Amino acid sequence: DAKPIIAPSILAADFARLADEVGAIEGAADWVHVDVMDNHFVPNLTIGLPVVQSLRKSVSIPFDVHLMITDPERWAPGYAEAGAYNVTFHAEACENPVALAKTLRAAGSKAGLAIDRDTPVEPYLELLPYLDTLLIMTIKAGFGGQKFLPEMLDKVRDVRRRISAKNLEVRLEVDGGIAADTIEEAAAAGADAFVAGTAVYGASDPAEAVRRLRALAEQ
């Protein structure tokens, strides 16, 4: 099995000091998770392409960009061109996920598909061969600091079963309410990439919080 990926979400960081906040987890974390929201796909607004382009120049950790936006076809390739390692768009916002995944790979990034709380994963299982990452939301997308929804782990189990059966190389990521008291059950369900906002940036020592989460995910 692949070693777990820990991806702190800067949504819970101090946006006035983004480069320093990312610097605080570089070395300890595998990816930094960048939540892009457009106040349309979700009722919240964060950062967009110019901030990602600037931040990319200041830090070296791989960027895991999570696009919570409508019209991802228009915007997603720009994040790949800006040097993002992985660009994930939402199933609910995209008519042709396979086409967009191909575009992203051609633009130089990995391609991820996200499944929000109220979306079943079953119709998307057949798309796994075209994806590098499948992100299962363990909350309703839009805000940090929400309570983890353990019933979402049924989706994680379904995806893990399919990845194993078909021997696919797809990262199975979970996002929302991941913390010391939830990461073990998410890992046991088959997740191998873990986004954590509050649990990392709400801690007095973010790097130490990442190491603790990793130790729990590895068990």
90 assigned binding-site residue: no
Query: Does residue 64 belong to the site contacting Zn ion (CB under 5 A)?
Result: no
Is 192 an active-site residue?
Answer: no
Residue among 107, 79, 86, 89 nearest 30 (CA): 86
66 assigned binding-site residue: yes
Query: Does residue 177 belong to the site contacting ligand DX5 (CB under 6 A)?
Result: yes
The CB-nearest residue to ligand DX5 is 197
Q: What is the DSSP letter of 99?
A: H
Between the CA of residue 168 and those of 21, 127, 159, 174, what are the distances in Å?
A: 34, 11, 11, 18
The stretch among 50-58, 120-128, 154-162, 194-202 that binds ligand DX5 (CB under 6 A) is: 194-202
Is 35 an active-site residue?
Answer: yes
Which does residue 70 bind out of ligand DX5, Zn ion, none, counting CB within 5 to 8 angstroms by kind?
none
Q: Alpha-carbon distance 47 to 43, whole Å?
A: 14
Selected binder of ligand DX5 within 35, 132, 158, 173 (CB under 6 A): 35
41 assigned binding-site residue: no
Between the CA of residue 86 and those of 22, 72, 181, 202, what are the distances in Å?
A: 17, 14, 27, 25
Residue positions annotated with a catalytic role: 35, 175
